[in-house]
Amino acid sequence: MVDRSSGKLVGVVFVLIVLMAMGTTMFTTINYPVSQSYSLPAAPAHPPHQVNITLYAYANGWDYGHGTTNPTITILNGTLVHFTVIEGDNQPHTLTINPGPKESSYSDTLLSTSQITTTPGHTSTTTGYFNTVGLFTYWCTIHPSTMLGLIDVVSTLPSHIYKFPTPPASATVTAHVTLTASSKGFISSSGINPSLFFGNNSLVNFTILQNGSSEHDFVVAPGNTISTYNATVVNSTELGTLNGTSISVNLYFNTTEEFTYWDSFYPNSTVGHIFITSGTSPLPVEITSHGLEFRGSQNWSAPAAISTSVVLQFNDTSKLNYTIHVSSSLNSSIPNGILIPTRNTSTVVEIASYNFTDVSITDLNVSKGSSGNVLYYQHLENISLSANHLGWNYSKGTVNPAFNLTIGTLVNFTVVNGDGLNHTLAITSGIVPYSGATVNVTSVNSTISSSFGYYLFQNPGIYTYFDTYHPATAVSSISVANGTGASASIAISFTHISQYSPGNSGTQNAFINTGTVNEPKRYIQDY
């Protein structure tokens, strides 16, 4: 007899043996699903476009400043983005990029939690190159539902035309400015690419003088950088290429703000700034979760003539408790009404008035972060210098000039990069660099062609201004004495400025879409 149960067992064993023999190759060739990996492409040595983007890391969203959360960042195809991430809330974060309009494991983490750290104020940097048109997502893997925004890579950016307001029929010219157009910059009697100060409701006559036979134009835009949202005030066809020819045009300014002017044919070397000032109109200062800000700048300076009433409007967007603290370098007394009480609400607007009769540096700070300064001066002067490793070039070829000033002079130093190297303008008391307390006023480098900053001379004596990178060749003296005169024209009066003024390219290649109704898109400069 045949044991059927044993037969089944034998058959099963036989089948298994056959399958094992046949399936060795089959099983080893199966491709099991694996996690995809992704990384942004390597940047070429000379990317077509570059932009700087700073983001504050908070668990409730990426903060671009002024309460703009998770903005859509639009850039041109072929852009190298220099990301700066500032830790804001003691929590871990990552900066992660992936293609497509939402989060994915198919992603590239540019900054990890250990790189960003959990220390408030810690700054970390990285870069990402985008060479494919389409949407990308930037996000935090720790807070994926709140910290996410889009990067829109496009082939062309929108362009906007800025129009200056029409002056009233009764307006007369209040100031005349002559600028000589050259490849090295706009040259005036006070230096290269001078910062210009005018009062509100000024009608200014600009005369642009042709130098040489190269093409030049004169372009002006609101804001502190070169922008595609601009007005070509004088074009190259109007100016022509005949040496010595000129063209004049009147511009009317009726808002207290900052403008940038430049030559689109030589944007690396011709960038200057126009400040429309007022000593009475309230200027909005925002109290954010990371400190006092004016137009996105945390360490701002506001020059004001002594005995001038400076009115600041504080707008609390931080929803945090705060107290504004005020101190003065020469006047320890605090006028009434400038100490803002502690608040804890979503929207608070406070008006504070400052009025000092001494030349002083009045410091304002909030416990949440950065501070700002009101600089009370007796004289205000503009000095423009072209930075070169062989020396500071001043108007019409003068190298390392000595300046004579008087006590109470506030100097607005504008520095233009003349050789593409790193330069920092520093001032020290004494006759040689580093002999006294040294203050770095402003810097330029291979990606920042123009910058400016203030220095208030409160005490008599000899000062040295020098380049910290080239102290042996780019150095000279500033003599400060008692008296009422000044060595150059004095311009009134009051404005806030950012201490950083990029602008070495005529092509704008990014903008921030804030989503705010009736507000122009904010642009990021192509550095």
CA dihedral over 353, 357, 361, 367, signed as positive or negative: negative
- CATH number of the domain bearing residue 109: 2.60.40.420
DSSP assigned state of 184: T
For the chain, what percent of residues have pLDDT higher than 70? 66
Is the confidence at residue 489, as pLDDT, over 50? no
- Among residues 260, 277, 294, the one where a domain terminates is 277
User: Between 274 and 297, whose confidence is greater?
Assistant: 274
Q: Is residue 185 part of a domain?
A: yes
Q: Is residue 26 part of a domain?
A: no
Residues for the chain: how many in total? 527
Answer yes or no: do 167 and 266 share one domain. yes
Answer yes or no: do 117 and 142 share one domain. yes
User: Between 353 and 510, whose confidence is greater?
Assistant: 353
**Window from 3-12, 29-38, 238-247 with minimum mean pLDDT:** 3-12
Answer yes or no: do 131 and 229 share one domain. no
User: Between 274 and 356, whose confidence is greater?
Assistant: 274
Answer yes or no: do 401 and 474 share one domain. yes
User: Between 451 and 408, whose confidence is greater?
Assistant: 408
Answer yes or no: do 342 and 400 share one domain. no
CA dihedral over 318, 322, 328, 331, signed as positive or negative: positive
User: Between 333 and 480, whose confidence is greater?
Assistant: 480
136 confidence band (pLDDT: 50, 70, 90):
very high
Report, as an integer, the average pLDDT of 318-323. 58
**Window from 71-85, 91-105, 305-319, 326-340 with minimum mean pLDDT:** 326-340
Q: Is residue 444 part of a domain?
A: yes
Answer yes or no: do 385 and 321 share one domain. no
Answer yes or no: do 165 and 105 share one domain. no
**Tens digit of each residue's pLDDT (9 = 90 or more) over 189-231:** 767 887 787 777 889 999 999 988 899 999 998 876 777 778 8
296 confidence band (pLDDT: 50, 70, 90):
low
Q: pTM score, two decimals?
A: 0.46
Answer yes or no: do 97 and 140 share one domain. yes
Q: Is residue 54 part of a domain?
A: yes
**Window from 7-11, 449-453, 519-523 with minimum mean pLDDT:** 519-523
State residue 522's pLDDT score: 31
Is the confidence at residue 492, as pLDDT, over 60? no
State residue 356's pLDDT score: 65
List of E strands, 360-505: 360-366, 371-377, 379-388, 391-394, 398-399, 403-406, 409-417, 423-429, 438-444, 450-457, 461-467, 475-481
- Among residues 277, 302, 325, the one where a domain terminates is 277
Q: Is residue 151 part of a domain?
A: yes
- Split into its structural domains, the chain has a count of 4
Is the confidence at residue 232, as pLDDT, over 80? yes
Report, as an integer, the average pLDDT of 258-284. 74
Kindly list the strands in the beta sheet with 218-222, ordered across the sheet, starting from the edge strand earlier in the chain: 160-161, 229-234, 218-222, 258-262, 271-277, 196-199
308 vs 503: CA distance, rounded Å: 32
Is the confidence at residue 264, as pLDDT, over 70? yes
Answer yes or no: do 303 and 197 share one domain. no
309 vs 290: CA distance, rounded Å: 27
**Tens digit of each residue's pLDDT (9 = 90 or more) over 62-90:** 986 544 688 888 888 888 888 989 888 88
Q: Is residue 10 part of a domain?
A: no
Is the confidence at residue 297, as pLDDT, over 90? no
For the chain, what percent of residues have pLDDT higher than 90? 23
User: Between 31 and 213, whose confidence is greater?
Assistant: 213
96 confidence band (pLDDT: 50, 70, 90):
very high
Determine the structural domain holding residue 76 and report its residue range: 49-155+509-524
State residue 60's pLDDT score: 87
User: Between 407 and 37, whose confidence is greater?
Assistant: 407
State residue 417's pLDDT score: 85
Beta carbons within 10 angstroms of residue 255's beta carbon = 12
**Tens digit of each residue's pLDDT (9 = 90 or more) over 356-399:** 667 777 777 665 555 677 787 887 787 888 899 999 988 656 88
The rounded radius of gyration (Å) of the Cα atoms in the chain is 29
| CB-based contacts of 87, cutoff 8 Å, min separation 6 | 57, 93, 116, 117, 118, 119, 120, 121, 122, 123, 124
User: Between 360 and 240, whose confidence is greater?
Assistant: 240
520 vs 353: CA distance, rounded Å: 30
Q: Is residue 467 part of a domain?
A: yes
State residue 261's pLDDT score: 92
Answer yes or no: do 169 and 214 share one domain. yes
**Tens digit of each residue's pLDDT (9 = 90 or more) over 42-58:** 998 888 877 778 788 88
Answer yes or no: do 391 and 451 share one domain. yes
Q: Is residue 491 part of a domain?
A: no
Answer yes or no: do 138 and 168 share one domain. no
Element (H, E) at 153: strand 148-154
Is the confidence at residue 336, as pLDDT, over 80? no
Q: What value does the mean pLDDT of the chain take?
A: 74
